[in-house]
Structure 1
Amino acid sequence: MADELVYQLVCSYQNRMQSYAGMGILDTWYDRITFDRLLKEETSPDIQKRIRRSIERAADRTSEALLPKLAELVGDKWTILDAPPAVFHVRGQHTLFDPDDDWMTAKNVDEVAVKVFKEYLGTLAPDRQRLLSHFTLHDRAFKVVGVGSVGTRCLIQLMIDSHGKPIFLQVKEAARSVVGRYFKCPAVAHEGRRVVEGQRLMQAASDLFLGWTKGPYGRHFYVRQLRDMKLSPQIELMDAEVLGKYAALCGWVLARAHAKSGGLAAEISGYLGTGDRMAEVMVGYSNSYADQVEKDYERFVAACRSGRLEARTEVDMAADFRV
């Protein structure tokens, strides 16, 4: 089944790239992959039902819907709720930072934060700056990031407008790219800017508040909304048919991003051709990658059992903070 999913993804990428190869660059930039478009192309009633359900779920994933789940009103100020180890105030009683961490030793955190936020505002268009000027800061806290960003810093900032409506901004650390570590690439002055400009170039519609800034200790960050009707597909709940459709969609999205950012859809399509060679190669690569992940995990488990590494489950860590 795994091989078939990879095959579907690669074939989708290949076919969509062939379509973009016949489009003008302006048409490619205007192209949108929308829910309505997915509904029109889908013939399965079950898949159509799932798409409509996703539309409903996405519409509910907003800062306003998140506010009562992530914060509480104390007097006239909203405060983010500590939920360690996932969310906690850096200098609060539930902090997981060591006393000598640079975030803990800063003399005036608020002053530093104002400077960092001001630099971020300078990367936005004037109309976005004006929009954010209607919001007032209420609270900020640390948020543990996902697997792809393990070890990096991330803050969430809660701001409220004059009508009591919220916006959650996420300030994520941007490390040096993997490509930049192993290949000779042009120098990058700001990793956060690299991430933002890459997203703006590849995405059809980037986050309204996408920008970048630099922390007081030299770390590079980029900023976006914490929730802006974004969806996280529950892959573990998908059957083979739905997972195959999702794989094909991923192939389409990737093809569009490459065609838009590089402007070389015809060259890429010509390189891939119309045969199965690329799909076969990627299936082999995927199997090798999966084997390597299993080997790495075995080494990780062995290191934990021997005491060389300390590992605790999220439930175990959370238990430390229960009263």
Structure 2
Amino acid sequence: MITASADRTRRERLAEGEALREETPWDFHAPWRPAPGRDPLAILAESDAERLPDLVPRRYKKMRRNAFTFLRGAAAIMAADLAGSAMAGLPVQACGDCHIGNFGVFVSPEGRVAFDINDFDETLPGVDFTVDLKRLAASVVVEAMAETDADAERARELAIAGVEAYRAHMHALAAMEPLAGWRSGIDLDEEVARIDDHRSREEVESDLEAGLAHETVEADVPEVDPAVREGPPASWRIADYGRKVFHRLPDGDDEPVRDAAAALARYPESLSPERRGLVARYALRDVAFKVVGIGSVGRVCAVGLYADADGAPLFLQIKEARESVMAPLVLPGHRISASGGERVVEGQRIMQAASDLFLGTARSPASGRAYYVRQLKNHKLSDVAEMMSRDGPKRYAALCGRTLARAHARSGDAAMIAGYLGTGDGFDRAVAEFALAYAAQTQADHAALLERDA
């Protein structure tokens, strides 16, 4: 979905975006008012029926931890809440679950270390750009208050920093030729060099080096069972690891693992010939269930252990793909053309500067479940993003804002979005006000969950 026009100049599109402010002024984005009869816990419960019953309690346990973990698992609630909010009318390929924890560090197919959005379970085209931006800003506020006890004024500053960076970078992208904008990315080395504290910078650099040294996640969970690690790769098995990695559900059922394995057998069919040839150099040795994230808990998510005859390992993650919670937010006149794993893969390829080398789709011949497949995240590289966010939260919020702008500009009209945003801080402050109000709502929703489960 590319919405920019080749027949209108950049100046014309900037003016068109600016004109949209008359229909939806910036201050329309500031208020948050819950709809009559709003029931956030009922929205959460709607998806429980499509999750594995044994794992649903784990989802709620994670969401009870604090307001930020609640927000992370509540993409469906926020989508429902934003359905009646102000929209600029400028569509993009939306991440759909654009919170500050869904940005990270990984290795591109060319071997470069990249910073980008890294979760696309809810991605969808034809969604107003403000939807992702409001969720990002709200997550910045909620995370700051829940994890660092920041006060409202400090949280507001962080939200403004993220939105301001988005706006400034969108203007920069709008000024570029299309190919230059498409090729643009985030220079992680520059971001790391900006870390003021010498010890923190060295720690980040050390984890980057370690992550690159173990690009196949050989030294992370999951891992090859030590009991068979020294034997022939054909006998390798994934080591069970408590409540995170296991071959059978708590009730003893192994159907989800068998289903994921059957889908993985068909997965190479979705790849281009050269990538299919790469996967063919490895053989699938074992499959185990892996509990990940918060919003995904209860859906089928597994990891496949691959290895060649010489013992070179490769871990691929396979995740069940359901309908996006963003579906009600698609702007009029925009059609959703892909579903299931294809929806996720298309969205990721559009939004990321460089997508996973092993990204593909699969469908189980037995259950009909739709899946997408990617390389398992390297936790050493994931740690880098977490350290950067702790070291400089304002700088990190701005980094996420710039990254989101680049992702949106690949599908949306950067000039029209820049025209709507303007060059002042009026829009930034309006979204920050919304973020503060929605953070208070999230805290109340989290409290309601605690009260229900007390």
Normalising by structure 1, we get a TM-score of 0.80
**Residue 286 of structure 2 aligns to a residue in which SS?**
strand
Deviation at 1:188, TM superposition (A): 4.6
Please tell me whether the aligned partners of residues 35 and 51 of structure 1 are also in contact (alpha carbons under 8 angstroms). no
Name the counterpart of 2:447. Answer: 298
Q: How far 1:136 sits from its partner (Å)? A: 1.4
Alignment of 1:34-183 (within 5 A): 34-38=187-191, 42=194, 44=196, 46=198, 49=202, 52-66=205-219, 70-73=223-226, 74=228, 75-76=231-232, 77-90=235-248, 95-97=249-251, 99=253, 103=256, 109=258, 115-181=262-328, 183=330
What secondary structure, in the 3-state scheme, does the structure 1 residue paired with 2:191 have? Answer: helix
Whether contact under 8 Å (1:201, 1:260) holds in the other structure is yes
Structure 2: 5+ residue stretches without partners: 1-153
Secondary structure at the residue paired with 1:195?
A: helix
2:184 to 24, 28, 31: 31
Q: Give the deviation of 1:96 after TM superposition.
A: 1.9
Q: 1:98 Cα deviation (Å)?
A: 6.3
Separation in 1 of the partners of 2:440 and 2:252? 36
Tell me the distance in 1 between the aligned counterparts of 2:374 and 2:211. 17
Q: Which of 349, 358, 363 does residue 200 from structure 1 map onto?
A: 349
C-alpha displacement of 1:237: 7.4
Q: Distance in 2 between matches of 1:144 and 1:261?
A: 32
| Alignment-derived partner of residue 407 in structure 2 | 257
CA contact (8 A) 2:204 2:388 kept: no
Assess if the C-alpha contact under 8 Å between 1:30 and 1:204 holds in 2.
Answer: yes
Task: Check 1:60–1:243 CA distance in 2 against 1; reply closer, same or farther (3 A cut).
Answer: farther
Contact 2:358 2:373 in 1 (8 A): yes
What corresponds to 1:234 in structure 2? 386
2:407 is equivalent to residue 248 of structure 1: no
Contact 1:212 1:221 in 2 (8 A): yes
Q: Offset of 1:186 from its aligned partner?
A: 2.5
Q: Which amino acid aligns with 1:194?
A: R
Q: Secondary structure at the match of 2:237?
A: strand
CA gap of 1:43–1:136, structure 2 versus 1, over 3 A, is closer
CA distance in 1, matches of 2:178, 2:360: 26
* 1:294/1:55 CA distance change after superposition, 3 Å: same
TM normalised by structure 2 equals 0.58
Give aligned pairs, total: 290
Q: Alignment RMSD, CA only?
A: 2.7
Q: Which of 162, 172, 194 is matched with 1:9 structurally?
A: 162
* Structure 1: gaps (5+ residues): 306-323
Partner of 2:172: 19
- Give, in whole Å, the separation in 2 of the partners of 1:226 and 1:220: 18
SS in 1 for 2:411: helix
Query: Contact (CA 8 Å) 1:102, 1:217: kept in 2 or not?
Result: no
**2:402 is paired with a residue of what secondary structure?**
helix
CA displacement, residues 76-126 of structure 1 (integer Å, 9 cap, x when unaligned) = 222111123111003xxxx32465x8648xxxx4xx666522432121110
Letter in 2 for 1:176: E
| Letter paired with 2:386 | Q
Query: Cα 1:24–1:298, aligned 2, differ >3 Å: closer, same or farther?
Result: same
State how far apart, in whole Å, the 1-side matches of 2:261 and 2:204 are.
41
Distance (whole Å) between structure 1 residues aligned to residue 176 and residue 451 of structure 2: 53
1:268 aligns with 2:417: yes
User: What is the deviation of 1:187?
Assistant: 4.2
Asked whether the 8 Å contact 1:61–1:227 carries over to 2, the reply is no
Tell me, in whole angstroms, the C-alpha distance in 2 between the residues paired with 1:35 and 1:119: 35
SS at match of 2:416: helix
Give yes or no for contact 1:70–1:81 (8 Å, CA) kept in 2. Answer: yes
Amino acid at match of 2:250: L
Partners of 1:145 and 1:152 within 8 A in 2: no
Deviation of 1:36 after TM superposition, in Å, equals 2.9
Paired position in structure 2 for 1:315:
none
1:218 to 1:189, Cα distance in 2 relative to 1, 3 A: farther
Instruction: Please report how far the alpha carbon of residue 59 of structure 1 lies from its aligned counterpart in structure 2 after TM superposition.
Output: 1.7
